[in-house]
């Protein structure tokens, strides 16, 4: 059991957490929540896609690149747990630059695992991706289905899961992998692999342009609110039932088509050629996540989208 945890998996103590990629979209939300809970937060980031203005007061910054093991080792000193968000989440970029993205997503993750192991941190929570599923014959997607990554980024994220499991098995480092399904919310990316149609449509509507849809718009995604993702991370850090590289889905368990989102936002639509190398549909089965973490999604998509559209 990780340091400071009770039998029920509750962390009673103030802890010091390392958040890799803490200047990014999801990482910055995690930092905000951890700070609110009274923990000490150290961010490890190289600001490749992250932004300095997302570093909240009270955060300790360790600026370095996870591809350099010796440079990042000191960031792990005195750390209780690691939330590993840092990655280059760019599908098209990963197809064009398979080496650079492999360095950050796979070698970077390996370096983080080695540094965490050597610093004897209590647990590492890895940000995995639903893209590991690729196209499957049946929905909803369950972690026991064979992975079928359709692009380099998806493959990198999947290899990260295998590395986590290996570090738990070989070296006794406590790890858990959370496969997020299309995360949305304040500060979400407006470019990259996870630029959701929501962000694109909002940008297009603000500019008075039609909303562009690739293909017939019947493709579906399971959109998950960032606060639900952060809650899953904190539960995963504290649960007494995980720690051996378990792979758990973090998705809202709702399917929404791109056409449906365009209708909810409202406005003219322009249809473009379909995208390849991406799954047609995603939908999370979160039975195991509930069983092992006690996590269930709290925010329904219609409510989360409404909150986002009302935001200035």
Ligand X SMILES: NC(=O)c1ccc[n+]([C@@H]2O[C@H](COP(=O)([O-])OP(=O)(O)OC[C@H]3O[C@@H](n4cnc5c(N)ncnc54)[C@H](O)[C@@H]3O)[C@@H](O)[C@H]2O)c1
- The widest CA-to-CA distance across the chain, in whole angstroms, is 55
Of 109, 123, 147, which Cα lies nearest the Cα of 293?
A: 123
Active site residue 194: no
Q: Kindly state the helix (H) or strand (E) to which residue 28 belongs, with its residue range.
A: helix 25-36
Q: Segment contacting ligand X (CB under 6 A): 81-89, 165-173, 273-281, 300-308? A: 81-89
Contact flag: residue 30 with ligand X (CB under 6 A)? no
Contact flag: residue 232 with ligand X (CB under 6 A)? no
Among 110, 183, 252, 258, binds ligand X (CB under 6 A): 183
Q: Segment contacting ligand X (CB under 6 A): 176-184, 230-238, 283-291, 293-301? A: 176-184
Strand partners, 19: 43, 83
Edge-to-edge strand list for the sheet holding 60-63: 60-63, 40-45, 16-20, 81-84, 123-129, 175-180, 244-250
Kindly state the smallest distance separating residue 81's Cβ from ligand X, in Å: 16
Collapse the DSSP code of 292 into the 3-class scheme (helix H, G, I; strand E, B; otherwise coil) and give the result. Answer: helix
How many degrees, rounded to 5, is the angle at CA 188 between CA 183 and CA 194? 55
Contact flag: residue 161 with ligand X (CB under 6 A)? no
Contact flag: residue 143 with ligand X (CB under 6 A)? no
Beta-strand pair 175-180/183-184: unpaired
CA distance linking residue 66 with residue 88, whole number of Å: 11
Contact flag: residue 83 with ligand X (CB under 6 A)? no
Strand partners, 126: 84, 177
Q: Which is nearer to ligand X, 5 or 304 (CB)?
A: 304
Q: Which is nearer to ligand X, 238 or 282 (CB)?
A: 282
For residue 113, the tally of other CB atoms under 10 A from its CB is 23
Among 5, 62, 83, 85, binds ligand X (CB under 6 A): 85
Annotated catalytic residue, options 153, 158, 180, 184: 153
Q: Segment contacting ligand X (CB under 6 A): 168-176, 179-187, 290-298, 304-312? A: 179-187
Contact flag: residue 5 with ligand X (CB under 6 A)? no
Could you give the residue numbers annotated as active site? 153
Residues forming contacts to ligand X in the complex (CB under 6 A) are 21, 23-27, 45-50, 65-67, 85-89, 104, 108, 127, 129, 157, 180, 182-183, 189, 194
């Amino acid at each position: 059991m990780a340091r400071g945890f009770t039998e029920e998996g509750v962390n009673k103590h103030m802890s010091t957490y390392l958040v890799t990629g803490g200047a990014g979209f999801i990482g910055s939300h995690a930092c905000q929540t951890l700070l609110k809970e009274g923990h000490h937060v150290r961010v490890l980031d190289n600001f490749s896609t992250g932004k300095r203005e997302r570093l909240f007061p009270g955060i300790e910054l360790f600026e370095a690149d996870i591809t350099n093991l010796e440079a990042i080792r000191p960031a792990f000193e005195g750390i209780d747990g690691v939330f590993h968000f840092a990655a280059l989440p760019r599908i098209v970029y990963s197809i064009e630059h398979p080496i650079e993205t492999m360095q950050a997503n796979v070698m970077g993750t390996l370096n983080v695992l080695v540094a965490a192991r050597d610093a004897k941190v209590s647990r590492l929570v890895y940000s995995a991706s639903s893209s590991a599923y690729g196209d499957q014959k049946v929905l909803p997607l369950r972690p026991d289905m064979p992975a079928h990554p359709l692009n380099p980024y998806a493959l990198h994220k999947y290899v990260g899961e295998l590395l986590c499991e290996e570090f738990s098995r070989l070296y006794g480092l406590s790890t858990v992998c959370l496969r997020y399904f299309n995360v949305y919310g304040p500060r979400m990316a407006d470019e990259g692999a996870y630029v959701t149609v929501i962000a694109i449509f909002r940008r297009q509507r603000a500019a008075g342009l039609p909303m562009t849809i690739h293909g017939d718009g019947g493709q579906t995604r399971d959109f998950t609110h960032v606060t639900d993702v952060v809650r899953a991370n904190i539960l995963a850090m504290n649960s007494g039932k995980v720690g051996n590289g378990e792979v758990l889905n973090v998705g809202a368990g709702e399917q929404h088509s791109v056409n449906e989102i365009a209708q909810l936002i409202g406005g003219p639509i322009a249809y473009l050629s379909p995208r390849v190398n991406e799954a047609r549909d995603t939908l999370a089965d979160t039975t195991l996540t509930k069983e092992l973490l006690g996590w269930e999604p709290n925010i329904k998509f219609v409510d989360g989208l409404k909150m986002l559209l009302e935001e200035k």
